[in-house]
Amino acid sequence: MIRRWLLALALLLPVAGHAGDARWDDFVSRFVAADGRVIDTGNGGISHSEGQGYTLLLAVAQNDRATFGRVWAWTRSRLQTRGDALFSWQWKPDADGGKIGDRNNASDGDLLIAWALLRGAQRWQQPAYRAEALKILADVRGKLIKPSRFGPLLMPAEKGFDKPAGPIVNPSYWLFPAFAEFARADRAPVWAELRQSGLALLAAGRFGQWQLPPDWLQVGDTLAPAMSHQYGYNALRVPLYLAWAGLDTPERIAPFLAYWDTNPERLPAWTDLATNAIDPDSAQPGLYTIVALVRQRQAGGTVRFGDGDNRDYYPAVLDLLSRQAAREARR
């Protein structure tokens, strides 16, 4: 009860004095268009529900109501046009301004947007945001949950991932730090059940030399990496979410530490779980921020981050999310 009260208070307090403000201002100036479209500069300049959701979430944390308002307005008018409360996952720019590239949704983007709306409703006393969030959560429950021996699976999208050999899921779509807030707002048992199923999948679905989770996981008679067969740009969010939710036990974090320790001079963004080959290049600073968060939470004491600049949207948003996680995560 005390922790819940403190979180509510933190969401309402101004944050103008913390060190992340300059980084947030830089992020908005480089990656958020005037109309509220968040631009993925490392992915052909497209926009996606994930990026809109992350930016909404960060805007609440920064108490930046103006940015929140324009990002939400663009997201609602351009992506929430499927006929339900979910969001088309991809928007492609073109000479005429752009169009939806794929009407299928992405459940991580849906959940991120719902989480941001719940927090925005609380911080700025806007019941309409809460109502919109509950509609999204209801459609996630109704359209994107599939039973399994591990508990409920969060399907990555409404279409395309239910295969004859078993459904394919994305472990990094389990948004562990949000599930308790969803359960309080939506009062459905599935959110606590997803927390447990996600942890069960992470315990059982480890592969390669370092026993890491894959970007995509097929849940059939056995568990197997699917599609990319990598621990890469999706799964690298798993340790961030575990730390943010206070679920970063030594046993759960050990595989990530072992992987990072094999390359002390640089951080590869991916490894092939079949061959154990690793990215020949070093990751941008945002990925190092995840490592700093996880390492220093394991060691105890204050989390200290570096000051490197990120070229592209994704590492820049990971940097900001890791800093937010450090402020919110339970010890």
For domain 144-331, say whether CATH 3.30.930.10 is its number.
no
Domain with CATH 1.50.10.10 in the chain: 1-143, 144-331
Share of the chain above pLDDT 90, in %: 88
Tell me the per-residue pLDDT of 243-297, one tens digit each, with 9 for 90 and over: 999 999 999 999 999 999 988 788 999 999 999 999 999 999 999 999 999 999 9
Residue-level pLDDT at 331: 65
Q: Where are the beta strands (DSSP E) in the chain?
A: 47-48, 88-92, 99-105, 145-146, 153-154, 168-169, 217-219, 223-225, 230-231, 271-272
Residue-level pLDDT at 307: 86
Residue-level pLDDT at 308: 85
Q: Which residue numbers are catalytic? A: 50, 108
DSSP annotation of 82? S
Instruction: List the single range of 237-241, 297-301, 323-327 with lowest mean pLDDT.
Output: 297-301
Strand (E) or helix (H) holding 139: helix 127-143
The residues with which 261 forms a beta bridge, in sequence order, are none
Its sign, for the CA torsion 253, 48, 34, 311, is positive
Tell me the per-residue pLDDT of 36-69, one tens digit each, with 9 for 90 and over: 999 999 999 999 999 999 999 999 999 999 999 9
Length of the chain: 331
Confidence of residue 4 (pLDDT cuts 50, 70, 90): very low
Measured distance CA(204)–CA(224) in Å, rounded? 10
Which of the following CATH numbers is that of domain 1-143: 3.40.50.2300, 3.40.50.2000, 3.30.230.10, 1.50.10.10? 1.50.10.10
Q: pTM, whole model, 2 decimals?
A: 0.93
